[in-house]
Amino acid sequence: MLVSRSAGSEPLPATLQADLLVKLAGYDRNMRARAGGHVRVLLATNGSDDDARWASQLKAVLGRTERIAGLPHTESTIRFTRAEALAATCKEQQIAIVVLSPSLSSEGERVRAAFDGVNVLTVAPDQELVRRGVVLGFELVSGKPKLFLNLPQANRQNVALSAEVMKLMTVYQ
């Protein structure tokens, strides 16, 4: 199965990306309050065919999942233009989860700045984006999925995970 890949690493199959996303969203203690009865997931791409393919796959697999954090959900795709515009869209549309394509890894710092104080879970299948300012990430390392958390950014975006879950992640302080 093909998915958009981060520089230098093999891609994580979309089914695993979706499973991890659903599982991690369930661990966020503020997800239900943030979602308000319906989890809206926004997939941000750079508009390339590569990203379109990644978004289509993730949408298709997430579409087969009944509930996220125990709530019904919908997925939509947006073309990334500027981090500030994406943050504004999230506030406006009460987006609970934003998944950024790994092709946006050079936008990491701008995403961090724009999402400061925004109540949303930002996720990326790319370790580099997490290091730069996305809250949660997963990447294929040593043939298995690994989780990454930007803890300061999680606090700024009202994402709360238990210590037990954080033990399974590489945490950037």
Which residues are at the interface with another protein (CB under 8 A)?
Answer: 1-3, 6-16, 19-20, 23-24, 27, 48-50, 52-53, 56-57, 59-61, 64, 102-103, 105-106, 126-128, 131, 139-147, 162, 164-165, 167-168
Least separation, in Å, of the C-beta of 169 and another protein?
10
Nearer to another protein, 165 or 171 (CB): 165
State residue 132 phi and psi, 5-degree precision.
-85, -15
Nearer to another protein, 1 or 88 (CB): 1
Least separation, in Å, of the C-beta of 65 and another protein?
11
Nearer to another protein, 50 or 151 (CB): 50
* Pairing assessment for the beta strands 144-150 and 121-124 based on DSSP bridges: unpaired
Nearer to another protein, 147 or 154 (CB): 147
Closest by Cα among 77, 124, 75 to 104: 124
Token digits of residue 42: 């926004």
Describe the strand order of the beta sheet including 97-100 as a list of residue ranges: 73-79, 39-45, 97-100, 121-124, 136-141, 144-150, 169-172
